[in-house]
Amino acid sequence: MKVFHWLIVGAFAVALAGCTQYVTKEEFAPKMYSDHPTTILVLPPINKSTAADAKEYYATTVAEPLTNSGYYVFPMEVVYDILQQEGLFDTETMMNVPVQKFKEFFGADAVLYVTIEQWDTKYFLTAGSVTVKAACELKSTSTGDVLWFYDDAVEVNTSGESGGATGLAGLLVKAVTTAIKTATQSYIPLARDASAKMFLAMPSGKYNKQYNVDQKAKIEKKKAQTKDQQAEKKK
Amino acid sequence: MRTFAFFSFLSALLFVGCATTDKTFYWGDYSETLYDFKKSPDEKTLKAHSDQLLLIISEAPNKNKPVPPGVYAEYGYILLKQGKETEGMGYLDKEMGLYPESIVFIKRIKSEYARGKK
């Protein structure tokens, strides 16, 4: 019996150890707290993954978690329609527009550039999982500086602790909802949760209760190290 | 018994880390109907999406939440494209009223619309 107890203690130690390396949001993204962007324009993502639908999944699910993080997000369909009327049809062309132009043209404080590097979906009856690796960069339209970035993989699934559902009841409801939706639509909640998970590492915007009080909130240090490595690369 | 209590406490600690807060906005099935429209843009999928936008607008107050950013604007834009000018402009103004930071964007939609009419 004693052995069993120690096994459990060990298991908890492992679970907790996984969360030890932290950095605060302010240390990670100080410019978010000085620049205070309110409006974010999300450009269509560049899809480098093998999943043909990854771009559509991302583009249709990103607004919900990003607004819930507290930002004014421009309705992407309207923005792309207007950009097309201006003669900008493909993602690469839009990405090459000087970032300041988006302030002038739409009133965007910041622009989110996204490259999807990996998008692996698994789906079986009521359960599914998506592993998304994306490089996101939020750039200020007034200074051109990178305010926040994310470059990591997240995995979400309907049976685990992904963003949306709370508690067991939430998970049950979620599984049922997943089951009744069509096969293609069933990836949508997962795609949304993947974005939501990435935005957990972002300081909150003015429509979130955590706005301007989450400086000391902790996020995994792994991401900060990625930042240092990126800075090194740029030198 | 005490060991049990101790582990319950530890478990509780772990779960606290996973607790999610109440979301700021209600988005209904926005992603689903928009995805369908993007995959096969036709009258049916457009109607389903614009109906969904209208549903979000009517449901938000019932949930004690503001209409999410961009929803009034997107709905108004669809109406404009359908030639429903007065109604469409009304929704664009609602977006600007609720989210004053959208003023440059809304003015852009209006000027593009005026340009298209010529």
pLDDT at B16: 46
When mean pLDDT is compared across A142-156, A179-193, B40-54, the lowest value belongs to A179-193
In eight-state DSSP terms, residue A108 is -
| 3-state helix/strand/coil string of chain B | CHHHHHHHHHHHHHHHCCCCCCCCCCCCCHHHHHHHHHHCCCHHHHHHHHHHHHHHHHHHHHCCCCCCCCHHHHHHHHHHHCCCHHHHHHHHHHHHHHCHHHHHHHHHHHHHHHHHHC
Residues of A in contact with B20 (CB under 8 A): 163-166
Higher-confidence residue: A222 or A22?
A22
pLDDT value at A234 more than 60: no
How much is the ipTM here?
0.83
Count Cβ atoms below 10 Å from residue B91 Cβ, excluding itself: 24
Alpha-carbon Rg for chain A in angstroms: 19
Does B75 contact A at CB distance below 8 Å?
no
- Quote the tokens at residue B34: 């928009």
The string of pLDDT tens digits covering residues A140-168 is 999 999 999 998 888 887 654 444 444 55
When mean pLDDT is compared across A51-55, A131-135, A178-182, A194-198, the lowest value belongs to A178-182
Residues of B in contact with A188 (CB under 8 A): 31-32, 35
pLDDT at B18: 45
Report residue A113: phi and psi, to 5°: -100, 130
Where are the strands (E) in A45-159, listed by range?
Answer: 46-47, 72-73, 110-124, 127-140, 146-157
Of A75, A184, A207, the CB nearest to B24: A207
Q: Do B102 and A39 touch (CB under 8 A)?
A: yes
When mean pLDDT is compared across A72-76, A93-97, A108-112, A159-163, the lowest value belongs to A159-163
pTM, rounded to two decimals = 0.80
What value does the mean pLDDT of chain B take? 88
Asked whether A119 and A51 are in contact (CB, 8 A), the reply is yes
The β-bridge partners of A220 are: A22
pLDDT at A14: 57
pLDDT value at A170 more than 70: no
Angle A210-A154-B37 (CA atoms, 0-180°, nearest 5)?
A: 85
Residues of B in contact with A45 (CB under 8 A): none
Does A174 contact B at CB distance below 8 Å?
no
Asked whether A207 and A70 are in contact (CB, 8 A), the reply is yes
pLDDT at B17: 45
Mean pLDDT value of segment A14-38: 81
Mutate to test the interface with B, among A1, A78, A185, A210 (most CBs of B within 10 A): A78
pLDDT value at B9 more than 70: no
Residues 6 or more apart in contact with residue A192 via CB below 8 angstroms: A61, A64, A65, A163, A164, B31
pLDDT at A122: 77
Of A67, A78, A184, the CB nearest to B68: A67
- Closest residue of B to A103, CA-based? B104
pLDDT tier at A182 (50, 70, 90 boundaries)?
A: very low
pLDDT value at B73 more than 50: yes
Residues of B in contact with A192 (CB under 8 A): 31
Angle A94-A97-A103 (CA atoms, 0-180°, nearest 5)?
A: 105
